[in-house]
Chains A and B, each alone.
Chain A
Amino acid sequence: MAASRALEGAGAPAGTERDGARSAVWLESRGLRGTAALLLDLHTIAATEGRTPSIAGHRAELAGFPILVWGSTLVELAMLEAGTSIMLQDCPSPRALLPEAAAQAGRGWCFQLAAGEGRASVAGAELYLDGSFAELDSADVRLVATALRPVSGLPPAPSRASLTAADLEARHAISLANGLRLAPCDWSRIRVAAARILVPASERSRSRGAGAEVDDNE
């Protein structure tokens, strides 16, 4: 909720704030630095407000764009160009593409992402993640979507796969049990952004809130 409001407060277009928030929580609850990606998005949304990434052919220029916010659009772009490699140039936080890819994979898609030496594959409920992919803060990413009809299984796992869907689910279960703990300064930045959707109170607004009109001592 706070992440969604923060993205909305920062100026994310309607609907992208929820996608972005869900992706941030997905990453953070699986130990993939979702909060850091969220804070980066909060910083870059204002700078790119009103602009959309430049996309020509199969190439998108993403330098300075908030990727949690645009992740669903980019994954959908790959789905529309199924089987074709899409180049995402200067993609901040490449791992921010994983949550939306995982969601679409559950609906019968396969995604392969490559950035430098890092690799990620997502299909159905399976996921292989080379550790270096999750660590990248910015990279050129090749993204390929393939429709799995009928489900034909997962492409070969990257040879140096360091994380699987089971590993991430185990991390997620621990996060659910213990809750997510954010550094106070990070939490403060999120709260500040979220507060931008609030309307200052006034005597008139107070009188239009619930329970303003009658004696409560009854």
Chain B
Amino acid sequence: MNGASDTSAVLRPPREVMRLSRLGRFYPTRLSFARILVRRMARERWRIQPAVRELDDDGFGRVSYHVHTPSGVLGFAAFSHQLDPADRTDRVIAERWDASFALTVEPPTRADLDRLHENVPRQEAGRCGAREIVLSRANRSVRLFDEVVASLADGRQPSLDDVGRVGYLMRTTAVYGNGKFGLADFEQVRRRGILTLPFQAEMLTVYLIRHFSLELVDHLAVRRGGFRAVSLDGPRRRALGIGNATGLGMAPFLVSHPQLIDRWVRMRETALARVMEVEQASPGELARFRTLLARARTHVAEWRPQVGDAGLARRLGTVERRLEELERLVAAEGDGELLLGFRPWTALAAWAGDDTETAELLNSILIELYPERVDDLETTAGSDEREETDPAMPIGALRETIEARYGWALEVEFDRPESQGLFWYHSEEKEEPRLGFRHEEPGAERELRLGIARQVAHLHRTLDREDPARPTGRFLRENPGFRKIVRRIQSLEDSPYAEIRDNLLDRSCEPADLLRGKLSMLGASRFDPKSLLWTRVTFFQGAPLANELERSDADDWGFATTAAAGVGTIA
């Protein structure tokens, strides 16, 4: 099977894919990082071994695990603290949490654990070093955590409906890695050979937090209920993932790592293109498609945004109706011919039409349907992110490159005030990323450089006055402020999906679309936007538990549903 870069399959053009209105409709796929990680854990038979468990009657204290992999042993430390409800907030600016965590390059010794206990609960204010890979914190779900503990202590399983409705016992509010706050640099982590792809360390941490949260409710149930207490059963454990509250920090990442974004989207689009090449669907593939379709419809039905944006709720309603219609069209006993002809999945895409929410969900199903066609792509998710300037490139050639690849940016009318209505910045408060209104608030002079379209347009106008034969390097010597955008343009020649083809400074820009695009690539589901600025999501809902990784169906947890969990299948 071809790699991501040499496929002969016809990929969807970037002008269609790299729009906020499309990225904001993405669903996780079997190539999302959470899925890739669990598949690898299962394939390589990773083991999570308890090492230290020092929790009091209220569940406060510390726990550590050893994570055994064929390439070495990692450590994980969890600290559970008392938290006044008044201090509980999802915001980055919080300073106290219910629990805090660190993933470490080696199993922590007692001394390490003492050191981590001093620092990890303080998060950004603590001192971590090159022996720590990831730093994270989480809050208990007020909607579910105590209710689950009370039920178990009383000898009852909690309501499966409640479990499925909330979807997690704990919700992370930050997962830091890759050298931030003095943590191990990704290069160091990669060289150790265990976590070699982007975000694997972060995803593993979230998986371990889920494991910890499930152990914690069992511990509390026993301490409170004694002999009456029961352990949370398998279906409910699987139905619980880990919540995550994510805000604007995702947006700078998407703009600052264009080569990574290109790899991720190209991986997904290549997978889809390969599936679209299928000339005839076999009876087995059609049966599997119907199974996944039914599961996806239930998944959407169970996805109930709490506060939500009205647009998402409306779109999900449409998806549900259309999937019902599709189920009738492709029923085994039906006479529908939609999928019986040549290139059935192309016909399906045509059926979805311009309804991007439905179309992207179906795309995720199709990628799920053909592991043998797509799974080899998972190794293409990384990039060395090397950007380089080509100083010898004539200015005329640079202009032509801009006109060929950045036409979308040149079309923006920047003399309209609304086109620069927003500015992105880091606040003094814990360096939290925020969004301001340029013409109404101070601080725009310190804005983050996320306005790629504006920078390109400015460069293009400036180059108009230059000799086309002049080397770019000489231009940059006199105009150093353009180095960043010139280098970006020159470096992304072979990265067609690198740029989000919208003006992120426009007053109408909806950051929630950016968040969903990236989170889906990580593997998050059940997007629950609380505003246009931040969202809650769930990771690993339906994923196999640590003791289920060797099951033959351990990889079959896409579109997790409570209903499926309730009858004992993994998802």
A pairs with B: yes
Within 8 A of A (CB), among B93-140: 93, 129-130, 139
Stretch at the interface among A116-124, A136-144, A149-157, A203-211: A203-211
- Whether B93 pairs with A209 at a CB distance below 8 angstroms is yes
- Whether B391 pairs with A80 at a CB distance below 8 angstroms is yes
Stretch at the interface among A14-22, A84-92, A125-133: A14-22
Could you show 9 A-B contacts with beta carbons less than 8 Å apart? A15-B482, A79-B391, A103-B388, A198-B431, A202-B441, A206-B429, A210-B91, A210-B248, A217-B142
Q: Size range of the interface on A?
A: 35 or more
CA distance A210 to B477 in the complex (A): 40
Instruction: Using A179-B130, A198-B446 as known contacts, say yes or no to A211 and B389 having CB atoms under 8 A apart.
Output: no
Instruction: Using A209-B247, A216-B89 as known contacts, say yes or no to A77 and B129 having CB atoms under 8 A apart.
Output: no
- Whether B93 pairs with A16 at a CB distance below 8 angstroms is no
- Is A200 positioned at the interface, with any CB of B under 8 Å from its CB? yes
CB-based nearest A residue for B440: A204
- Is B325 positioned at the interface, with any CB of A under 8 Å from its CB? no
Q: Which chain B positions have C-beta within 8 A of A210?
A: 90-92, 245-249, 432-433, 533-534
- Is B483 positioned at the interface, with any CB of A under 8 Å from its CB? yes
- Is B14 positioned at the interface, with any CB of A under 8 Å from its CB? no
Instruction: Using A199-B428, A218-B142 as known contacts, say yes or no to A208 and B391 having CB atoms under 8 A apart.
Output: no
CA distance A107 to B384 in the complex (A): 14
Q: Which chain A positions have C-beta within 8 A of B388?
A: 103-104, 107
CA distance A198 to B427 in the complex (A): 5
- Whether A176 pairs with B188 at a CB distance below 8 angstroms is yes
Q: Residue B90 contacts which of A1, A107, A211 (CB distance < 8 angstroms)?
A: A211
- Is A112 positioned at the interface, with any CB of B under 8 Å from its CB? no
Instruction: Using A80-B392, A210-B248 as known contacts, say yes or no to A205 and B436 having CB atoms under 8 A apart.
Output: yes
- Is A212 positioned at the interface, with any CB of B under 8 Å from its CB? yes
Q: Which chain A positions have C-beta within 8 A of B478?
A: 52
Taking the nearest CB of chain B, how far is it from the CB of A57, in angstroms?
13
Instruction: Using A176-B191, A211-B91, A218-B141 as known contacts, say yes or no to A199 and B436 having CB atoms under 8 A apart.
Output: yes
CA distance A195 to B446 in the complex (A): 11
Within 8 A of A (CB), among B183-199: 184-185, 187-188, 191
Q: Residue A14 contacts which of B389, B485, B531 (CB distance < 8 angstroms)?
A: B485
Count of inter-chain pairs, beta carbons less than 8 A: 162
- Is B225 positioned at the interface, with any CB of A under 8 Å from its CB? no
- Is A178 positioned at the interface, with any CB of B under 8 Å from its CB? yes
CA distance A211 to B247 in the complex (A): 7
Instruction: Using A1-B179, A209-B248, A218-B306 as known contacts, say yes or no to A199 and B442 having CB atoms under 8 A apart.
Output: yes
Q: Residue B427 contacts which of A16, A55, A80, A205 (CB distance < 8 angstroms)?
A: A205
CB-based nearest B residue for A76: B391
Shortest 8 CB-CB contacts between residues of A and residues of B: A210-B247, A15-B484, A15-B483, A179-B130, A199-B443, A210-B534, A76-B391, A13-B480
Within 8 A of A (CB), among B420-434: 425-429, 431-434
Taking the nearest CB of chain A, how far is it from the CB of B99, in angstroms?
15
CA distance A218 to B361 in the complex (A): 28
Taking the nearest CB of chain B, how far is it from the CB of A21, in angstroms?
12
Instruction: Using A52-B478, A216-B88 as known contacts, say yes or no to A18 and B484 having CB atoms under 8 A apart.
Output: yes
Stretch at the interface among B207-215, B290-298, B468-476, B544-552: B468-476
Question: Contacts A52-B480, A209-B434, A216-B89 given; 5 further ones with Cβ under 8 A?
Answer: A15-B485, A173-B191, A178-B130, A210-B91, A211-B89
CB-based nearest B residue for A181: B129
Q: Residue A76 contacts which of B389, B425, B443, B530 (CB distance < 8 angstroms)?
A: B389
- Is A146 positioned at the interface, with any CB of B under 8 Å from its CB? no
- Is B180 positioned at the interface, with any CB of A under 8 Å from its CB? yes
Q: Which chain B positions have C-beta within 8 A of A195?
A: 428
Q: Which chain B positions have C-beta within 8 A of A204?
A: 441
- Is A201 positioned at the interface, with any CB of B under 8 Å from its CB? yes
CA distance A1 to B253 in the complex (A): 13
Q: Which chain A positions have C-beta within 8 A of B89?
A: 211, 216
Taking the nearest CB of chain A, how far is it from the CB of B190, in angstroms?
10
CA distance A46 to B435 in the complex (A): 28
- 0/1 per residue, B439-481, Cβ < 8 Å to A? 0011100100100000100000000000000010110111011
